[in-house]
Amino acid sequence: MRFIDEYRDAAAAQQWARAIHRITTKPWTIMEICGGQTHAILKFGVDELLPKSITLIHGPGCPVCVTPLELIDKAIEIASRPAVIFCSFGDMLRVPGTNKDLLSVKAHGGDVRVVYSPLDAVKIAQQNPDREVVFFAVGFETTAPANAMAVYQAKRQGIKNFSLLVSHVLVPPAIEAILSSPTNRVQGFLAAGHVCTVMGYTEYEPIAQKYRVPIVVTGFEPLDILQGIYLCVKQLEEGRAEVENQYTRSVRREGNQPAQQLIREVFQVVSRQWRGIGPIPRSGLGLRDEYAEFDAERRFDVASHHVEESSECISGLVLQGIKKPHECPAFGTRCTPEHPLGATMVSSEGACAAYYRYRARSSANG
């Protein structure tokens, strides 16, 4: 298939791998921010082609994984109400809340629907004027424009029975949080190509300077990732710390400005809690006051409960790149996709799910 196959070519992949071997003289630790990249790395075995001295660690770029438990409990409470049609990307349905997940709400008669676009949820609201339609708006900057568009259109069209349960997070504050942590060992980053398609990469330039780290905007196919690693290692070996763009077929420095404008129209920057990591200042998006009527948290007045995470789950450490999934004692035994302790085991961008799915486990009972 055009634009896919050429980025999965075995001979070209081996060539990039050889080039990385050639320029690597020291051990380096590189973090791929995005969970989509983590899955591509494990699915295609990209890491197996790299020199042993290069360590890839998996970043927090899995929006489903970092959505706070408390908000998932709220989603479950809202979705359980009979007057509500609760729409979500499929990925959120299996994420464990305190007592259950959205799939079990569906099994108990809740109207929970998987949609591929928030605009589909707006359509469902138009078709069901007597029901309240709620869309679970999770994601990084990548999904923000479409979610903003849904609210924007709902307001223009006077649709009163539509609202968003917002859990939007931003990449640059997360990178800064990782870099300023005393336990940080990341020396270079592969930034998420799709996020930068929307936002461009100017906001990464001061981070690269301040912390002296190379940041390479990278795509999602095996060759993209290999080339991104090559550029990152080259900078590290040469002592440079710049923002480079590997994903030129999609990303421009200034990004997609109409999309950014729409985000700014509907959302404002707010502080957010990251599941497993904690609060990060100015790290997310919330609806602006002008759009507050579309905020599901206000509309449904759901109480905040204090919630306890599973004491055994180390997903916070996994999301910060401090531990690898298979270093968790529960991995593959007490924590599986059927019985997840944390979201990283069920999200299609979660690192634990990637290891479980693509790597042989010592216990072959999975």
Partner 1 sequence: MDNFSCPIPIAEYPTILLAHGGGGKLMHQLIERIFVPTFGNPTLNVRHDAAVLGVNGVRLAFTTDSFVVRPLFFPGGDIGSLAVHGTVNDLAMCGARPLYLSAGFILEEGLPMETLWRIVRSMQAAAQSAGVEIVTGDTKVVDKGKGDGVFINTSGVGVIEHSHCIAPDRVRPGDVLLVNGDLGRHGIAIMAVREGLEFESAIESDSAPVAGLVLELLSAGIDIHCLRDLTRGGLASALNEIAAAARVGITIDEKLIPVREDVQAACEMLGFDPLYVANEGRFVAFVAPSDAERALDLMRAHPLGEGASIIGAVSDEDAPLVTLTSRIGARRIVDMLSGEQLPRIC
Residues forming the site for partner 1 (CB under 8 A) = 1, 4, 8-10, 13-14, 42-46, 48-49, 90, 94, 103-104, 106-108, 116, 222, 336-339, 346, 348, 356-360, 364, 366
CB of 358 to partner 1, least distance (A): 4
Helices and strands per DSSP (H, E), number in the chain: 15, 11
Residues 188, 75: Cα–Cα separation, whole Å:
36
Helix, strand, coil share (%) of the chain residues, nearest 5: 45, 20, 35
Burial of 13 (0-12, 13-18, 19+ CB in 10 A): buried
CB of 46 to partner 1, least distance (A): 7
Closest CB to partner 1 among 220 and 267? 220
Residues 297, 94: Cα–Cα separation, whole Å:
21
- Paired with 86 in beta bridges are 112, 134
Closest CB to partner 1 among 315 and 347? 347
Report whether 82 contacts 332 (CB < 8 A): no
Closest CB to partner 1 among 64 and 177? 64
Closest CB to partner 1 among 116 and 308? 116
Query: What length is written for the chain?
Result: 366
SS3 298: helix
Closest CB to partner 1 among 297 and 349? 349
For every residue of 302-355, DSSP letters joined together read PPP------TT--HHHHHTTSS-GGGSTTBTTTB-SSS-SSGGGTSTT-HHHHH
CB of 1 to partner 1, least distance (A): 5
CB of 330 to partner 1, least distance (A): 15
Residues 273, 160: Cα–Cα separation, whole Å:
29
Closest CB to partner 1 among 183 and 362? 362
CB of 47 to partner 1, least distance (A): 8
CB of 288 to partner 1, least distance (A): 30
CB of 123 to partner 1, least distance (A): 10
CB of 104 to partner 1, least distance (A): 7
Residues 163, 297: Cα–Cα separation, whole Å:
9
Within 10 A of 338 (CB to CB), how many other CB atoms are there?
A: 9
Closest CB to partner 1 among 115 and 269? 115
CB of 334 to partner 1, least distance (A): 12
Provide the CA 203 distance to its chain's centre, in angstroms: 18
Closest CB to partner 1 among 118 and 284? 118
Residues 262, 195: Cα–Cα separation, whole Å:
15
Residue whose C-alpha is closest to residue 258's, from 146, 115, 125, 118: 146
Closest CB to partner 1 among 77 and 337? 337
